Amino acid sequence: MVKLRRYYSKILLFGEYGVIHGSPALALPLKKFYGEFAKGTSDYDLSNFWEYLKSLTFSHASFNQTRFEQDLREQKVFKTNIAIGYGLGSSGAFCAAVFDRYFDRPHRIQILELKKMLARIESFFHGESSGLDPLVSYLQTGILKHPNQDLELIAKPSEKWNFYLVDTGMARSTEKWVKLYLEKYKEKNYQNQISKLIDLNKQSIEHYLRDSNSLYNTFAQISVLEQEIFKEMIPPSFEKTYSNLQLKLCGAGGGGYFLGLCQDGEIPMLKDYAVLRVD
C-alpha cells in the first residue's frame, strides 16, 4: 500500500526569473495550502500530461503504469486548495505528488538528480522549469539554491521576518511570462539589469539567514528594480499598491500573489485586495 500524504505549496522568497541564470534562490513550503490524492473527479483534462509522463525515461525511476491505471479505476485524483496561476507552486505540488506516487525509485536519488527529474516533469506546464518548486513540495522543506547550483536544505526557516501575500484577484499563466522574460533577456542591457537583481537576491538571502535588519533595505531595492525590469508582469491596476507597499514578484508575476515584507510585524489591511500572512 502506497502511503498517501500532503504536498505543500511553496513560496519563493528570492530568486524569481534570475534562478534560470544561476541566481541564488530561497524557497520555503507554505503549509496553508496543499494537495493530496483522494477519491473524486478531476477538474482538468490531463490526458496529454499522462502521455507525456509515459514518454519520459529516467535512469533512476520508471513510470508505474499499473498503479496509475488502478487509480483511474478507483477514481483517485489529485485534489488541492492551492490556487492555480497564483505563484504558489500549484504545478510543482502536483508534479511532486505524481512523481512520488507513479514513479518507482529502486535506489536513492541524489538531490540534484531529483531536481532535474522534477524539472523535466514540470516543464510540461511551463515550457521551462528549474525544478525548485516541485523539489520543495516533494521534500517538504525549505531549500536554498546556491549560485554554483548546490542545494542546501533549510529545515527551520527564520521566525524573525513577517512576510505577507497580496492577492491581485487575477490568475495568470506562468508559461506566457517566462516566454516574455526569455525574449527580453536576449538584450545585453536587460542582462545587466538581471545581474543587479541576482546580486540583490544574494544579499537578501544572506540578510535573511543572518536575521540582519539590512534585509528591509535590499527587499525595497528589489521592489524598485523589479518594477522597472518586470513592468509587464505587474498588472496596471495594481501598480500603485505595488509601489506603496514596496512589494516584489511572487513567482512569475502577471497576477496572482505579490510578496511583501513588513517592518512593524503587522501586515497591512487593504480595502481592495485580500492580504495573507506567510507563516
DSSP labels, 236-252:
GGGHHHHHHHT-EESSS
- Give the span between the Cα atoms of 181 and 155, in whole angstroms: 32
Per-residue model confidence as pLDDT tens digits over 219-276: 999 999 999 999 999 999 999 999 999 999 998 899 999 999 998 778 899 999 999 9
- Same domain, yes or no, for 114 and 65? yes
Residue burial 166-177, b: 16+ Cβ < 10 Å; e: rest:
bbbeeebebeeb
Provide the pLDDT for residue 127: 76
The answer on 243 and 166 residing in a single domain is: yes
Q: Is 2 a domain residue?
A: no
Q: Which CATH number covers residue 126? A: 3.30.230.10
What is d(CA 248, CA 241) in angstroms, rounded to the nearest whole number? 11
Quote the CA–CA distance of 242 and 166 in Å, as a whole number.
9
Q: Are residues 226 and 169 in the same domain?
A: yes
Task: Tell me the Ramachandran region of residue 253: left when phi exceeds 0, alpha when psi lies from -120 to 50, beta otherwise.
Answer: left
On whether residue 191 sits in a domain, the answer given is yes
Residues 149 and 168 in one domain: no
The per-residue pLDDT for 129 is 82
* Phi, psi of 12, rounded to the nearest 5 degrees: -90, 105
Q: Are 242 and 232 in contact (CB under 8 A)?
A: no
Name the domain boundary from 129, 154, 179. 154
pLDDT per residue as tens digits for the range 100-115: 999 999 888 999 999 9
Residues present in the chain in total: 279
Sign of CA dihedral 218, 220, 224, 230: positive
Q: Output the domain CATH number for residue 216.
A: 3.30.70.890
95 and 24 share one domain: yes
Q: Are residues 114 and 168 in the same domain?
A: no
**In the chain, beta strands by DSSP E:** 7-14, 25-39, 62-63, 76-80, 103-104, 142-145, 151-154, 162-167, 248-249, 257-262, 274-277
Structural domain count, the chain: 2
26 and 120: one domain? Answer: yes
What's the pLDDT at 119?
A: 93
Same domain? 13 vs 144: yes
Would 42 be classed as within a structural domain? yes
Please check whether residue 63 lies inside any domain of the structure: yes
Same domain as 257, residue 194 = yes
Phi-psi region of 157 (alpha: psi -120 to 50; beta: other; left: phi over 0): beta
- Quick check: is 138 in a domain? yes
% of the chain residues with pLDDT over 90: 76
Confidence at 118, pLDDT banded by 50, 70, 90: very high
Domain final residue pick, 154, 179, 214: 154
Domain containing 176 equals 162-277
Instruction: Find cell 536575521 and name the residue.
Output: 211
Average pLDDT rounded to a whole number, residues 45-62: 90
Instruction: Please check whether residues 69 and 49 belong to one and the same domain.
Output: yes
SS3 content of the chain, % helix, strand, coil (to 5): 45, 20, 35
The pLDDT of residue 139: 95
Q: Give yes or no for residue 4 having a pLDDT over 70.
A: no
Q: Can you tell me whether residue 210 is helix, strand or coil?
A: helix
C-alpha cell at 180: 516574455
Question: In the listed set 154, 176, 210, which residue is the last one of a domain according to the structure?
Answer: 154
**Is a pLDDT exceeding 90 seen at residue 34?**
yes
If asked whether residues 146 and 20 sit together in one domain, one would say: yes
Residue-level pLDDT at 234: 97
1 within a domain of the structure (yes/no): no
Position 82 in a domain: yes
253 is a domain residue? yes
Query: Does 34 share its domain with 139?
Result: yes
Task: Give the pLDDT mean for 158-163.
Answer: 90
Query: How many Å is the Cα radius of gyration of the chain?
Result: 19
Look at the block and give the residue holding cell 513592468.
231
Q: Which residue has the higher pLDDT, 99 or 23?
A: 99
